[in-house]
Structure 1
């Protein structure tokens, strides 16, 4: 029997999601966790097959987990219009350097290849290509997007293109890995697509860790938490 642990905070959509999930997977043992420290213990427990953050707050949990896994990062697994993609970075303090975003991109590539999918990367920036010079932050973001695109091209055979700020073109081109210019922008994209516009999401896959851990928003819907439970259940088969 599989054992899955999930965090329960103020958003009790998670409770209803567990009931719905159990109807389809009655042989899976669901353990409800109400404290941050107990969720961290569950992630580190070899007797538990997978963990979903659920509606517990992320900050303390991520801080504790990074003490055990300092290179840990996340990518939100989103269902687009008839296709899926990974969006990273999504933590507001993640993806602060080109090198860090490169490692995140490589984790996404490995994950998709493990699922038998062909990676197609879109690199984003905080402006169009011809916006260079319109402020220091914009210019620096464009410069870094060029550097990241070049780094990926030089070190992999994966298809990659710099879309600058044109995320709509990246989505129309069915890119299945989208690299935001930093975690704050990635978090806003996630909230705009998933929480505001109701694009389905499985939650965030966690990389740089030898455990199956799905990070989720505290504001997710019942259906969103069900999808996260399905994902952690399926990944536990890997």
Structure 2
């Protein structure tokens, strides 16, 4: 029987989500984990097919995972009736350089192609193009967004456009890979769309490792945790 491990922290939505998931997927075994270190062990356990962070704190888990998988990165998978996209970086210490973000873009491209989808990439910055000069950080972000766009154009065959700060236009244009200027901005976009406005998210897909690991917010809803468990279950079937 397939086994998916999920972390149980202070958010009891996890427990209810597990009951709902089991009703829909009775052939998948769920293993509830209550400590950070045990969740890391589950990722490394070959007998466990997928792992969902659930409501355990992320910092210790990601630190431990990076010791075994130094190239890991994450992208939140948001999917609704009228939109579907990967949003990244979303970890507050991720995507700090243009090179980091380009590596994440490559992972997102591979993931969407595995799902049979054509990538359409949007690059974001902390201002419009004509905001250059309105502060050092804004100018740096605009310059880096141009560099990243050019890097993607020169090294991939995928459609890419620099939307600067206009995230609403990127979503309206049905871009399915949205690259925030850094992980802090990406995290705020995620919280605004998913936790405040209830856009459906499957959690964050983790790249750069040979195991299915879905990262989730500690504040996610019951439905959100069900979607994360479903994604882990579906990805295991897809990879086979």
Indicate whether the TM-score tops 0.5. yes
Counterpart contact for 2:4–2:28, Cα < 8 Å: yes
Please state if 1:147 is matched with 2:171: no
Aligned residue for 1:231?
231
Counterparts of 1:8-157 in structure 2 under 5 Å? 8-157=8-157
Aligned residue for 2:202?
202
Counterpart contact for 2:83–2:171, Cα < 8 Å: no
Counterparts of 1:149-188 in structure 2 under 5 Å? 149-188=149-188
Distance in 1, Cα, partners of 2:81 & 2:129: 27
Helix, strand or coil at the partner of 2:133 = coil
Helix, strand or coil at the partner of 2:139 = helix
Distance in 1, Cα, partners of 2:117 & 2:221: 27
Cα distance, 1:189–1:123 mapped onto 2, change above 3 Å: same
Gaps of 5+ in 1: none
Helix, strand or coil at the partner of 2:70 = coil
Distance in 2, Cα, partners of 1:143 & 1:172: 24
Q: CA deviation at 1:227?
A: 0.1
Instruction: Map Cα deviations across residues 181-216 of structure 1 (whole Å, 9 max, x no partner).
Output: 000000000000000000000000000000000000
Helix, strand or coil at the partner of 2:42 = helix
Distance in 1, Cα, partners of 2:49 & 2:121: 30
Distance in 2, Cα, partners of 1:76 & 1:152: 20
Q: CA deviation at 1:83?
A: 2.4
What is the TM-score with the length of structure 1 in the denominator?
0.99
Distance in 1, Cα, partners of 2:63 & 2:184: 17
Gaps of 5+ in 2: none
Instruction: Map Cα deviations across residues 36-62 of structure 1 (whole Å, 9 max, x no partner).
Output: 000000000000000000000000000
Counterpart contact for 2:93–2:184, Cα < 8 Å: yes
Counterpart contact for 2:76–2:202, Cα < 8 Å: yes
Helix, strand or coil at the partner of 1:144 = helix
Distance in 2, Cα, partners of 1:82 & 1:75: 19
Helix, strand or coil at the partner of 2:96 = coil
Counterpart contact for 2:8–2:55, Cα < 8 Å: yes
Instruction: Map Cα deviations across residues 105-129 of structure 1 (whole Å, 9 max, x no partner).
Output: 0100000000000000000000000
Helix, strand or coil at the partner of 1:227 = helix
Q: Which stretch shifts more, 75-84 or 23-32?
A: 75-84
Q: CA deviation at 1:79?
A: 1.5
Distance in 1, Cα, partners of 2:44 & 2:6: 13
